[in-house]
A and B are shown apart, each in its own frame.
Chain A
Amino acid sequence: MNTSPVVYLDHAATTPLLPEAIDAMTEELGRLGNPSSLHDAGRRARRVVEESREQIAEVFGARASEVIFTSGGTEADNLAVKGLFWARRAADERRCRVLTTAVEHHAVLDSVHWLASAQGARPDWLGVDSCGLVSPAGLREALERDPGSAAVVSVMWANNEVGAVQPIAALAEVAHEFGVPFHTDAVQAAAQLPVDFAASGVDAMTVTGHKLGGPVGAGALILGRGMAPVPVLHGGGQERDIRSGTLDAPAIRAFAVAAVVSAQRRVDEAKRLAALRDDLIRQVLAAVPNAILNGPPPGPERLPANAHFSFPGCEGDALLLLLDARGIACSTGSACTAGVAEPSHVLLAMGADEARARGSLRFSLGHTTTQADVDALGAAIGEAVSRSRRAAAR
């Protein structure tokens, strides 16, 4: 039995902590102080938080005052989508439309569904093409239909399943033509792409620590000045009164360290991972000639560390089990309730049928990935697919 996988190809789920982040967090965990306290210990902890805020702001092209720390990506997405919807509708009750895509992460998707079912929102689902890409023209068309009713637009920077990189700057520009705030979930993009808040023109942007080598439990909503979402959490008034709750100085410091280190290495690392990913695609297609690469072709429209395939005639969960038994960790890229795999909403939105959506696997690379990992997958995938096909044929 494996206690830890030999071949870890699920970095999009979470990536190993960088040693620098472990060191920073370990040191900070031994220190005392609530960053909101006024005494010396509190000031010291506050200094750690504020320095971290500045570092994160610099990495993502924002001002320090624009960084709102959260517990992670899900909370930041909820705050942006719900908070901006509430604020915009409070200012003008005609604003009930939320424009988003059908390929968002569940943190956005389910927030929008909840706003629709419980808060009177009208969702407008922007279509994607067969690669999972949203078009600015499509957004313009949707906004033009009734600009006065648009509350907020939310489009993810890069898709977590198929790695599609959206034209975020162009989309934000369209939203701004109609005076509508634009949020993007950049959780997957942050480690692999040049993510620049100011240059992109977005109004709100979600990032999280554990996808770039930091700890789980620390993330941020980067929020342009002038944006005043209604808080989801009320309490001590931390984070500009937008996100109450005691700040987690150790996790925030480690998040900042990881963000800085990952940014320093990003260009070289993206190139290295793209080459490994291309080889992974080549090896998988050589072993399974009728496998289908989902998402955009390798290039600027695809995350460099993402590969996602449908294996016709297979069930993704059977493939995952077989690879897991050989020490290879990957993902069916789908939501789980009680561990039951649902067909991927992303693939369904891209026009795939249910069988293709169920028969798919995501391989995501990261800072610990080596050529040996890719070769191990290349050596195992053919046999796993033929076994899984026999199981599905029954």
Chain B
Amino acid sequence: MSGGVDSATAAARAVDAGHEVTGVHLALSQNPQSYRTGARGCCTLEDARDARRAADVIGIPFYVWDMAERFARDVVDDFVAEYAAGRTPNPCLRCNEKIKFAAVLDRALALGFDAVCTGHYARTDSAAGTLRRAADPGKDQSYVLAVLTRDQIAHAMFPLGDTPKTAVREEARDRGLLVADKPDSHDVCFIADGDTQGFLARKLGPAPGQIVDEDGTVLGGHDGAYAFTVGQRKGLRVDRPAPDGRPRYVLSIEPVSSTVTVGSPEALAVREITAVRPVWTGCEPPPVPIECSVQLRAHGDVYACVAALSGDDLHIELREPARAVAPGQAAVLYDGDTVLGSATIAVTR
């Protein structure tokens, strides 16, 4: 229970469904003050209190579990290392993979619980261990859950998957949950001021390098390649205009030489993707290429594609080009609403 409206309502619904429910709030920072304050984050003292009060109203026992060490290692350090390697990680996905449905689930199962229930917007078939998009397409979170294995999904409950967010808020109000009108959380919960670049600069220190165009012409310099994301247009600080006068975008990041390559929007077009460490839940690892669709970032567009497995690498050929595909993000394959599998984007062409 994060202290937000979704997990509170999910817990209440689990109670209504007849389950024996225990509320757990995760303490993710060794120093709670250092994480986001106010209503937006997931790990402040105020959020812990909101979660406790929701548990009181629902009438379930409530505990705080200290996951700060695991979170620092598996989510925060990983986040920093991924940026240092020139990739763009998704920490919420990593938290689901390593904390909520791993460390928390393992501990819960050992203590005699049967499942972890959260306020995520997604639908599952526990018997099959498969995952589907939520009924509310605007809130669907299947993308950040697609990394879960069948076994993890079989022990996950998402009671809000069938309900639009507006209805959840209304229901929370009807249930007397004080968090009914609390704003949604966004951004990265462990970056207190919302300044990701500043956070990375403090963690990684200066790593100056060059900004070049596609021909290798040096256009300028930067203080750290980790400050850039593929597809980024703003903040390049390149004085010399492009020959055609059009805006330039980050095309690629090369961490060893700390080189950022920029170029025209056309050069951002991606037709082929190689992704690694695939997880399959909606189907067996496909022996032959399959026609399906793929989503390449949270709340991003969906593209028709052909996906083929070769060894541990997943090759994805897009039917139409995608723009600004960042290595480090997940490529999630869908058959209609059903998640087939997920892998981490490594190379784009």
Contact = CB atoms under 8 A, between A and B. Distances in A.
Given A321-B111, A387-B111, A394 B106 contact: yes
Residues of B contacting A: mostly: mixed
A394 B27 contact: no
Contacts of A338: 27, 32, 45, 48, 64
A388 B111 CA distance: 6
Contacts of A322: 111-112
Contacts of B64: 338-340
Nearest to A388: B111
B178 interface: no
A26 B45 CA distance: 36
Contacts of A388: 111
Interface in A317-358: 317-318, 321-322, 324-325, 337-341
A325 B48 contact: no
A391 interface: yes
B194 interface: no
A303 B52 CA distance: 34
Contacts of A318: 107, 111
A387 B112 contact: yes
Contact of B110 (A324, A339, A394): A394
A390 interface: yes
Interface residues of A, number: 18
B106 A321 contact: no
A391 B25 CA distance: 17
A188 B106 CA distance: 38
B66 interface: yes
A212 B107 CA distance: 38
Contacts of B111: 318, 321-322, 387-388, 391
A238 to B, nearest CB: 34
A201 to B, nearest CB: 43
Contacts of B59: 1
A387 B22 CA distance: 17
Contacts of B66: 317, 340-341
Interface in B1-57: 22, 25, 27, 32, 45, 48, 52
A346 B60 CA distance: 32
A341 B63 CA distance: 10
A181 B52 CA distance: 44
Nearest to B27: A340
Nearest to B63: A321
B107 A339 contact: no
Most chain B Cβ neighbours within 10 Å, of A338, A391, A394: A338
Contact of A1 (B60, B63, B106, B112): B60
B61 interface: yes
B281 to A, nearest CB: 22
Contacts of B48: 338-339
A25 to B, nearest CB: 26
A386 to B, nearest CB: 10
A391 B104 CA distance: 10
A248 to B, nearest CB: 27
B112 A339 contact: no
A331 to B, nearest CB: 13
A324 B61 contact: yes
Interface in B108-129: 110-112
Question: Which among B45, B48, B112 has the greatest number of chain A C-beta atoms within 10 A?
Answer: B112
B60 A387 contact: no
A387 B111 CA distance: 6
Nearest to A390: B110
A321 B25 contact: no
Contacts of A325: 22, 61
A321 B22 contact: yes
A390 B48 CA distance: 27
B110 A391 contact: yes
A394 B61 contact: no
B61 A339 contact: no
B60 A339 contact: no
Contacts of B106: 391, 394
Contacts of B27: 338-340
Most buried by B among A318, A325, A340, A387: A340
A9 B45 CA distance: 28
Interface string B178-211: 0000000000000000000000000000000000
A390 to B, nearest CB: 4
6 contacts: A1-B61, A318-B107, A387-B112, A390-B110, A391-B106, A391-B110
| Minimum-distance CB pairs A-B, first 9 | A339-B64, A391-B110, A394-B106, A338-B48, A390-B110, A340-B27, A340-B66, A391-B107, A338-B45
Given A324-B61, A338-B64, 8 more contacts: A317-B63, A321-B61, A322-B111, A340-B64, A391-B110, A393-B110, A394-B106, A394-B110
Interface of A: 1, 317-318, 321-322, 324-325, 337-341, 387-388, 390-391, 393-394
